[in-house]
Every structure is written in C-alpha cells, then in structure tokens.
Amino acid sequence: MASETHDAAATASACVDAGGGAIGMPQLCGEWMGNQVFWLVVTLVVIYFILSRIALPRIQAILGERQGAITNDLAAAEDFKVKAQEAEDAYNKALADARAEAQNIIAETKAEIRAELDEATAKADAEIAAKAAEGEKAIAEIRANALESVKDVAKETAKELVSAMGVKADARSITSAVTAKLKG
Amino acid sequence: MASEAKAEGSKELVFHPMDQFIVKPLAGDGPVGLFTVTNVTLWMALAVLAIFALMVLGTSGRSVIPSRIQSIAELAYGFIRKMVEDVAGKDALPYFPYIMTLFMFIVFSNFLGLIPGSFTTTSHIAVTAVMAMAVFLAVTILGFVKNGAGFLGVFWISSAPLALRPILALIEVISYFVRPVSHSIRLAGNMMAGHAVIKVFAAFAPMILIGWIGVLVTPLSIIAITAIYALEVLVSFIQAYVFTILTCVYLKDALHPHH
C-alpha cells in the first residue's frame, strides 16, 4: 500500500515499512538475527574476559583479604583477652600474696611485742622483788637500831632517874636491870 | 500504515508499540548485515561499559572497607556465587564465571533498556535464544562428559513406581528439550511485553490534545506508565535472576543427574 508511493531503498527491509514502522514483531525478523547473534557473542566474550580475568579474581582477593583481616583481628582480640585474663590472675595472686605477707608480718610483730613485753615484765618483777628485799632488810636494820636505841635511852633514863633520886648506882647493875625489864 | 503516516498532521493517536524493537544501523539507512554496527551493538557496548565500570573501576580501590560501588560489585559477586553454590553445588563453582557473565549481561541490558528511548537487547528472541541454547548445549555436553551414559538417569526417576517410570521418562525428555525454548522466551517475552505496554499507554497520553475525554485518559495513562515502569524495574531484576537460577538448576542436573 504505502510502499508503492515510496522509493525502493526505504522498503528494502521486509520487517520495516516505508514509514519506518515495524511490520509485525521485530523480534521475528530473520534479517537482523545474524547481526544480533554476532554482536551478542562478541559482547558475551568481552564480558567473560573482563569478569574472569580482572573483576572476579580481584573481588575474590578483596573478600579473602577482608576475611583474613577479620580472622586476624578476632585472633588478636582473643590474644588480648587471654593476656588480660593473665594480668588479672597475676594481680589477684599478688594481692593474695601481699595479704598473706601482711598477716605474717602482723603475727610476727605481735609475737615480738609479746616477747618484749614478757621480758620487760619479768625484769620489772625481778627489780621489784630485789627492791622489796632491800627494803625489808633496811626495815629490819632500822628496827634493830631502834631496839638498840631504846635500850640505850632506857639505860640513860634509868641512870638519870636513879641519880636524881640521889642514889649512886653503878652502871652495870642498871644495865642488867634494864635488860631484864626489856626482856620481860 | 498509510493512515499512521498521515497521523502527524491530523489529530489522531499514533500507535507504534513495536517500533522500539527495530534493529537499525547506527550510521545511514543501509541494510543490516552480519557485522553492521547497529543499535544492538551500541546498547550491548554500553552494557559492557557499565559492567566494566561497576566490576573493574568500582573495585579498583581494593579496599578492605569497601566504597559504595565496590560493595555493589561485591554484592553481585556474592549473590551469584552463593546461588551457584547453593543450587548447583560446590563442584559447579568452576562454571561460576560463565554464569556471572550471563547474569551481568542480562541484568545490565534489562536496566539499560529501561532508559527512555533506549534499545532493549534482551527483548529479542535472537539474543535470549542464543544464550538459552548455549546453556542447553553446554549443560547437555557437560552432563555426558561428566557422567557418560549415566547422565540419562536424569530422565529415569527412580523414586517413582516402576510402572510409571517409562511415562515419566517420556515427559522428562520432552520437558528437557523444551527447556531452552521456555528459558529464552520467558526473558524475551517479559521484556518485550513490558516495554510494549508502556508504549501503548504512552500513545494514550496525548489524548488531552484531541478531545475532552483526554482530561480523564491522559492522567490515567501517565499513572499507568509510572506503575508499569515500576513493575518493569522489578521484572528486569527478577527475569535476570530467573534466567540465572534456571541455568544453575540445569547445571545441577548435568553434575548430579540422579535425583
């Protein structure tokens, strides 16, 4: 119909009409299929080489690297965790040791102080005993002296009393008389 | 056809939903030969460039802490690699680059096709059929190379009752040979249909210039274009995913033919 009014060049194709519109389904046009298949094969081969030679190995390497980094980081974290645990254990052990030592020192010091105290007490007791003995001795001496003095005073007093009464008495009889009285 | 050519002058709606799929030379009006540089060439080359930009330039930093583009590339890599491993098994990993090639090509072609005025290479049966046939042939040859005649076990369902097995085997054989057809038409059909529907709605959009009914039709068609476009974004990814996962399923049959 319309093709009659147009030149032959425009209607060279069986799939396109003179106005440039499609006749039927362009998908079923046999004329173009060779061209499409050729370019498709070229395209697929190019994509295949781009992917298999460059892109896929590269992405695989990146993913592997990332996996490695993650694994390494996890291992390092595990390491640090173990180290932290060790440090904590060491700290706890040091603390326990220090506590035990402090207990020891306290006990030792207590014992020492007790020993010193006991020694000092014993010494003081001994000194006190010595002083007491000395004092007793001094008291005994003083008592003896006092007795002696009483005897002297009594003799003197008796002699004076006798002489005052006008009697001349000898010293020996007075002394023996006073001694006899003092004994009685 | 003649009335449509006239349409520019008169106030009529112009429907050319299939024109977007025409293959034409980039330079001049000559015939399309085998090696002619056409719009197919252009959009496939753009797909290659986009893939290169994402997968090579995007990862050029090789950073352990990835940039945004690098994480997208890594995501695509991990997505397809996991799919191959989960669906086809660990021994399918040597074929991962081929499957990755198919997925990247399809997903980029689909999304480049969503740019208004672009050409969708994956909407053509010729393109998807070549990929599907390549998968079909590769998987079949691989199955026989790896398992010898044991590959025929894929048709012999040993878990079914003995009496049913021959019938099931027949069905399995038929479905096996239908695979490349469904595999290719599913992708091309989805892409073509969506783009054609958008074009049809787009043709209704200038209705407001023609008559009062356009007050109603024009906003509706614009909303419809938006909605279909959103759906197409989803379809673009899903069809690439489906094509790839079916490839993995077929590959699994080749490597482990016994159910």
What secondary structure, in 3-state letters, does chain A show? Answer: CHHHHCCCCCCCCCCECCCCCECCCHHHCHHHHHHHHHHHHHHHHHHHHHHHHHHHHHHHHHHHHHHHHHHHHHHHHHHHHHHHHHHHHHHHHHHHHHHHHHHHHHHHHHHHHHHHHHHHHHHHHHHHHHHHHHHHHHHHHHHHHHHHHHHHHHHHHHHHHHHHCCCCCCHHHHHHHHHHHHHC
The answer to whether the CB atoms of A1 and B66 lie below 8 A apart is: no
Confidence of residue A6 (pLDDT cuts 50, 70, 90): very low
The whole-number average pLDDT for the span B150-168 is: 87
pLDDT value for B161: 86
Q: What pLDDT sits at residue B162?
A: 87
Confidence of residue B69 (pLDDT cuts 50, 70, 90): very high
- Give the end-to-end CA distance of chain B in Å, rounded to a whole number: 55
Instruction: Determine the residue among B14, B23, B109 to mutate to test chain A binding: the one whose Cβ has the most chain A Cβ atoms within 10 Å.
Output: B23
Tell whether the model's pLDDT for residue B178 goes beyond 70. yes
Give the count of Cβ contacts less than 8 A between chain A and B.
Answer: 159
Task: Please check the confidence at residue A10 and state whether its pLDDT lies above 60.
Answer: no
Contacts of A29 in chain B (CB under 8 A): 23
The C-alpha angle with vertex B146 and arms to B142 and B149, in degrees rounded to 5, equals 100
- CB of B251 closer than 8 Å to CB of B203: no
The confidence band for B2, taking pLDDT boundaries of 50, 70 and 90, is: very low
The whole-number average pLDDT for the span B243-258 is: 92
Range in A7-11, A126-130, B149-153, B239-243 the model is least confident about: A7-11
* Min Cα separation B80/chain A (Å): 11
Subunit contact A35:B23, Cβ cutoff 8 A: yes
Give the one of B29, B38, B126 whose C-beta lies nearest to A9's C-beta.
B29
Reported ipTM: 0.89
User: Is the pTM for the entire model greater than 0.90?
Assistant: no
- Residue range B20-27: average pLDDT? 86
Average pLDDT along chain B:
89
Which one-letter amino acid corresponds to residue B45? A
